[in-house]
A and B are shown apart, each in its own frame.
Chain A
């Protein structure tokens, strides 16, 4: 009898979680962005920033500086679209290499890859919505 109760309550609980997850559209969207973003990352970023976002010595910065990413959140889409060539300081180190421009990456893919980056490698900053990306891309200089 006791087992039965545990079993059925476990069942109900998982059902509720299941419903909850389904009902939570924002969460589903986030999951999709994140999953697709990891694919974009593999193709466009991983060669340089590496699979764990660790970068390469003093040549390519890691993507693990959460403070930098948060403070520069608005600039990230322009980094990806226009690339980087001036020196940049991350984690106290100065980097002076080139990051190539990905002009052809659609805003939605930029949003997905940034969602992936800002929620991996120890970062936890929530979804980077495509609207936010489009808005920032219009203001790149």
Chain B
């Protein structure tokens, strides 16, 4: 056993260093496609970059409240895709999302959206019961019901557009277990494996970075 100690220690140390370099980067990238836009300002041509945003949507949550892009103004949010009867990765994702929920509970600048991909089974009462059984009784974590096509399209063209279309994840990209971090301008700022402890912890660190950034933006205004 003794000879194992040193490599284990090294692994631990490099693990720490990896974490550190991750969290010390003060700003998060903007994911997804971008387009240069040329416009003329004061007679001068300027090139601006327009980043992809999450397309407009409107769904109903477990309390029959409509949630759309406008309900999320001034908030950052984490989105994922699940269904209540999913036997594979969803319980672990829910467990991790619950950690995030508990950490930011009561923070009006943070929301969570869980889109069901099984609208036939996951009706509003089913979603309501699922939320309650998870211990979610306020309106910060929305379990959203929408037509299947609409949800798939939103996933493909919005949240998952950064992922290769030929993704070989079982169940397709919609059911890949991603947690997507979105800022108040609806830009995608990060994608994390919602089944992985470490990535979920990185996500929470990144949320803190993003919240600080949003705060600075507000102060500048």
| A47 beta carbon closer than 8 Å to chain B | yes
How many A-B Cβ pairs are below 8 Å?
33
Are A57 and B87 neighbours in the complex by a CB distance under 8 Å?
no
| Contact residues of A between 55 and 108, Cβ < 8 Å to B | 56-60, 97-98, 100
Are B91 and A56 neighbours in the complex by a CB distance under 8 Å?
yes
8 Å CB contact of A50 from B89, B95, B130: B95
Smallest Cβ-Cβ distance to B92: which chain A residue: A47
CA A13 to CA B95, docked complex, whole Å? 47
CA A59 to CA B85, docked complex, whole Å? 11
Smallest Cβ-Cβ distance to B87: which chain A residue: A100
How many of chain A's residues touch chain B, expressed as a range? 10 to 19
| B135 beta carbon closer than 8 Å to chain A | yes
Q: A100 — which chain B residues lie within 8 A by C-beta?
A: 87
Known: A98-B85, A100-B87. A57 touches B134 (CB 8 A): yes
Q: A48 — which chain B residues lie within 8 A by C-beta?
A: 87, 91
| B218 beta carbon closer than 8 Å to chain A | no
Q: B91 — which chain A residues lie within 8 A by C-beta?
A: 47-48, 50, 56, 59-60
Interface string of B132-150 (1 = CB under 8 A from A): 1111000000000000000
Interface string of B80-96 (1 = CB under 8 A from A): 00000101110110110
Q: A47 — which chain B residues lie within 8 A by C-beta?
A: 87-89, 91-92
Query: What is the CB-to-nearest-CB distance from B67 to chain A, in angstroms, rounded to a whole number?
Result: 22
Smallest Cβ-Cβ distance to A44: which chain B residue: B87
Query: What is the CB-to-nearest-CB distance from A138 to chain B, in angstroms, rounded to a whole number?
Result: 26
Q: A59 — which chain B residues lie within 8 A by C-beta?
A: 91, 94, 130, 133-134
CA A107 to CA B135, docked complex, whole Å? 36
8 Å CB contact of A56 from B85, B89, B134: B134
CA A47 to CA B92, docked complex, whole Å? 6
Q: A98 — which chain B residues lie within 8 A by C-beta?
A: 85, 87
Query: What is the CB-to-nearest-CB distance from A84 to chain B, in angstroms, rounded to a whole number?
Result: 12
CA A59 to CA B92, docked complex, whole Å? 12
21 contacts between A and B (CB under 8 A): A47-B88, A47-B91, A47-B92, A50-B92, A56-B91, A56-B94, A56-B95, A56-B134, A57-B98, A57-B133, A57-B135, A58-B133, A59-B91, A59-B94, A59-B130, A59-B133, A59-B134, A60-B91, A97-B133, A98-B85, A98-B87
Chain A residues within 8 Å of B, Cβ to Cβ: 47-48, 50, 56-60, 97-98, 100
Given contacts A59-B91, A59-B130, 6 further A-B contacts (CB under 8 A): A48-B87, A56-B98, A57-B98, A58-B133, A59-B134, A98-B85
Chain B residues within 8 Å of A, Cβ to Cβ: 85, 87-89, 91-92, 94-95, 98, 130, 132-135
